[in-house]
Amino acid sequence: ELKVEQNPLFLSMQEGKNYTIYCNYSTTSDRLYWYRQDPGKSLESLFVLLSNGAVKQEGRLMASLDTKARLSTLHITAAVHDLSATYFCAVDAAGGGADGLTFGKGTHLIIQP
């Protein structure tokens, strides 16, 4: 059974600081997704990582994938309050969307002024 573990699960940080969220998964996969969820809202797609060594950046967020280590990271640079949300990583173990995505428990991020 595929397991996806995120850490930390909770993170409180100050504006302007940098931090990294880690996502480990237990089976071979070369498709990993990062989503953002605001309280009471649905999930917003942030990044799709499709191969070993893939790196994508959007604004203050950068995601990377190491398929050999079964590890993805989401790095936050110079955090701002608007980035406060819950961030999920999700793995597509079957490839191409079959079997759905397996999500981690999420990292609840609070960025304080």
Contacts to other proteins by CB under 8 A? 4, 31, 33, 35, 41-45, 48, 50, 88, 90, 92, 96-106
97 vs 113, which CB is nearer to other proteins?
97
Sorted by sequence, the CB contacts under 8 Å of residue 73 that are 6+ apart come out as 20, 21, 22, 23, 63, 64
- Is residue 79 a contact partner of residue 113, using CB atoms and an 8 Å limit? no
Nearer to other proteins, 42 or 113 (CB): 42
- Least spacing, CB of residue 99 vs other proteins, in Å: 5
Minimum distance from CB of 92 to other proteins (Å)? 7
Whichever of 79 and 104 has its CB closer to other proteins, that residue is 104
Can you tell me the distance from the alpha carbon of 2 to that of 83, in angstroms, rounded to the nearest whole number?
A: 29
Cα 31 to the center of its chain, rounded Å: 12
